[in-house]
Structure 1
Amino acid sequence: MGGPPGVDFRGSGAHCGEPMVEIHLGECLEVISTFASASFDLIYIDPPFNTGKTQARTQIQTRPDANGDRTGFAGRRYRTTRLGTKSFDDSFSDYLGFLEPRLEQAYRLLKPTGSFFLHLDYREVHYAKVLLDSIFGRDSFMNEIIWAYDYGARATRRWSAKHDNILWFAKDPSAYTFRYDDIDRIPYMRPDWLGPKRQPRERPRRTPGGTPLSAPAARRKRDIRLRSHWRSWIGSCAYTRIRATGCSTSLRAVGRLANRR
């Protein structure tokens, strides 16, 4: 591959001598502009999020030490040594102007069967979606992938930001590559009240506390029905069993039933 010199990690065996990974050190736009068009099957970028803050990352080294400052697996103690800290100012006055030429290069570099993934968060993802629509075309937008996590700060004045957004665009929406059978899967949840398990990948649906989810009140009162595919965890001070329900009218009805028990 042409362009600035990079570092090759070469494999062995059947692919001995062929570059498997190339790492290029340089300004992104300058480096990728030297690559040949239609030469990548997949491009994934995780740019700065424009948080308006200084982002810093400290590199550390650990070694076993009975009197160390860190506890690891099985209670083993380790001593931590800081090797250094790198930081950058994650603030852009024209964030889309920063992204646009890089997204245009990504479109040029993709093969007709290629896919592009842009990893951002709530701050800029919606504006980036509109920008990508203008570059790839709206029909090339395949989906939005939510990267959810449960760690981080807990906000007290608003809903906490607990996920990132990954936009998936295909170079050609009629010719992209998607290997469905290679997807990692976990058993999906199924309420116990629907009867015995019918699929090998099913598992019982339970409340956050681990108890089986009871049937909705609609099974006992015909005027309460599940009218939506969406579900909410509903509790009551007078009746603590958790039920699944759908719409706002059902929520009120369940509350009345719970308080009468």
Structure 2
Amino acid sequence: MGPAMFDPQGPNTVAHGENLEILAAMPDASFTLIYVDPPFNTGRKQTRAARTMVRAATGEGDRVGFKGLEYVTELGQARSYHDSFDDYLSFIAPRLHEAYRLLAEDGTLYVHLDYREVHYVKVLLDEIFGRDCFLNELIWAYDYGARAKSRWPAKHDTILVYVKDPKKYHFDSAEVDREPYMAPGLVTPEKRERGKLPTDVWWHTIVSPTGKEKTGYPTQKPEGILRRIITASSRPGDWVLDFFAGSGTTGAVAAKLGRKFVLIDQNTEAIEVMRHRLDAQTRYIEANDPVPSDTMR
């Protein structure tokens, strides 16, 4: 392993490399908040060849079957398919185990998913954290994009929220941005002016294609979503981790809110986007560097 990936007294850090290897090198209980927006489907290609067993003379077979009869294995045509379900869980599970280890006792994990994988990952997180550590299922609803006509259009993501210790986790609702009441005429003028606390359903636009936030990175998430998460589940000075960092939204918002961050991504394009987006004092590390890097952008 190359340079130290986490220094509690050090600067904000972006690490370029395989996240599982980098996570394994970090000390336990380092982060108050971990947010991840993992790929929804790894899409790895699996190849299998059909096998046929043919009876063979004694001593000529490569397999022994019932009553000692010998068989020769003949391979047929290879066929390929995408084993998305099994592959995704085997991909994400060790990384979520690392997230559990890296959370402080008052820490919280947010896992951002879509409808394809959220149910399977929920069961996996129940096993890793325990069902008593499940805090919320957040629904981020938006109204943009194509409209399917053969089914209800999918216009939401799900964010699963787990805490390290249900008796110690940090949550500050007083600091969270408030929303307008949907029926303002039913509340007092004082309440209308103050707004209401968000529920577990968040109506928030996607990143505008022409807005200032837009970086051009395809899976970029809006700063408003991360601002709400970071404000509620961390304090100024706390460390925040995102190991599928993408365009660096987590780091950009954390810095604005006075938090420290570590971002990890293995995509070279993502690292370049973050270099242009993040604060000049952010440290950039290549995970395979042979010696510690003190390079600042």
TM-score by length of 2: 0.48
| Matches for 1:219-230 after TM superposition, within 5 Å | none
User: Per-residue displacement from partner, 1:36-93 (whole Å, max 9, x unpaired)?
Assistant: 011111111111101859xxxxxxxxxxxxxxxxxxxxxxxxxxxxxxxxxxx99565
Total equivalences in the alignment? 159
- Of 2, 7, 10, the residue aligned with 1:4 is 2
Question: Separation in 2 of the partners of 1:195 and 1:179?
Answer: 24
Q: Which runs of 5+ in 2 are unaligned?
A: 45-81, 197-297
Quick check: 1:5–1:24 contact (8 Å CA) kept in 2?
no
5+ residue gaps, structure 1 = 9-17, 54-88, 204-261
Deviation at 1:146, TM superposition (A): 1.2
User: In structure 1, what is the equivalent of residue 28 of structure 2?
Assistant: 37
Q: Greater strand percent: which structure?
A: 1
CA distance in 1, matches of 2:13, 2:169: 24
Give the Å deviation of 1:189. Answer: 2.4
Query: What is the identity, as a one-letter code, of the residue corresponding to 2:151?
Result: R
* Per-residue Cα deviation, 1:211-237 (whole angstroms, up to 9, x for no partner): xxxxxxxxxxxxxxxxxxxxxxxxxxx
- The structure whose residues are more often helix, as a share, is 2
Residue 104 of structure 1 aligns with which residue?
97
1:124-176, Cα deviation, whole Å (9 max, x unpaired)? 00110010000000010000111121112110000111011100000001100
Asked whether the 8 Å contact 1:7–1:24 carries over to 2, the reply is: yes
| Letter of the structure 2 residue corresponding to residue 5 of structure 1 | P
Task: Pick the aligned partner of 2:158 from 165, 180, 183.
Answer: 165
* Aligned AA (2:135): M
Shift in Å, 1:4: 3.2
Larger Rg: 1
1:186 equivalenced with 2:179 (yes/no): yes
TM-score of the superposed pair, with normalisation by structure 1: 0.54
State the percentage of identical aligned residues.
56
Q: CA offsets, 1:97-136, max 9 Å, x none?
A: 1111001010011111000010100000011001000000
Compared CA separation, residues 191 and 113, structure 1 to 2 (3 A):
closer
Q: Report which structure shows greater RCO (CA 8 Å, sep ≥6).
A: 2
1:56-95 residue pairs with structure 2 within 5 A? 93-95=86-88
Describe the SS at the equivalent of 2:32. strand
Q: Determine the C-alpha separation between the residues in 1 that align with 2:18 and 2:43.
A: 21
Contact 2:105 2:169 in 1 (8 A): yes
Which residue type is aligned with residue 37 of structure 2? D
- SS of the residue aligned with 1:128? helix
Within 2, Cα distance between the matches of 1:195 and 1:94? 50
